[in-house]
């Protein structure tokens, strides 16, 4: 079995994290699922904010830590931003619209996917943010064909 294709990008600060999100937005396709992993304060919500900015959203982007999900209806697609940090009861996923969100028309961005892993499909892209030398490293791994296509666009 071969390793999944990957890419590591050094992010010096918040603006670099936002810029990565904007680059990622250009490579997204409807139906994609992006898993965001990292410790508290590692930049997951900032990356999601950059992604939304890259898709043309200009409003406030907040972490859905307490609501589990925020839906952004954009002209190009619908984007569901999930945060499972406080996830506890599987019924919360159904109440949050999990089944409806993961379809071919929307993009799902999930913070803390490991807390609901058994209820989620395999992500197209897995992005892990880790602190490193005064900044962060974004380790991006493609786990599906759609993810590999997105990663190839990011690398160009």
Q: Which domains does the chain show, CATH number per domain?
A: 6-143 (3.40.50.300)
The two three-digit tokens of residue 63, written as one number: 């972490």
pLDDT of residue 94: 67
pLDDT of residue 143: 95
Mean pLDDT score, 107-129: 91
Q: In this predicted model, what pLDDT tens digit does every residue of 58-110 receive, in sequence order?
A: 888 877 776 778 889 987 789 999 888 877 776 666 666 677 788 888 999 99
Q: In this predicted model, what pLDDT tens digit does every residue of 8-40 receive, in sequence order?
A: 999 999 999 999 999 999 999 999 999 999 998
């Amino acid at each position: 079995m071969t390793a999944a294709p990957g890419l590591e990008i050094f992010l010096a600060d918040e603006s670099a994290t936002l810029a990565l999100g904007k680059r990622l937005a250009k490579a997204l396709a409807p139906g994609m699922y992006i898993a965001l992993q990292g410790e508290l304060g590692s930049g997951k919500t900032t990356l999601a904010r950059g992604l939304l900015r890259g898709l043309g959203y200009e409003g406030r982007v907040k972490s859905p830590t307490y609501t589990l999900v925020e839906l952004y209806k954009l002209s190009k697609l619908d984007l569901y931003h999930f945060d499972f940090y406080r996830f506890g009861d599987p019924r919360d996923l159904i109440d949050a619209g999990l089944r409806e969100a993961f379809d071919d028309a929307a993009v799902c961005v999930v913070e803390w996917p490991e807390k609901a892993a058994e209820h989620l499909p395999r992500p197209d892209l897995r992005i892990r943010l880790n602190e490193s030398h005064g900044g962060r490293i974004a380790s991006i791994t493609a786990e599906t064909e759609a993810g590999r296509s997105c990663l190839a666009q990011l690398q160009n």
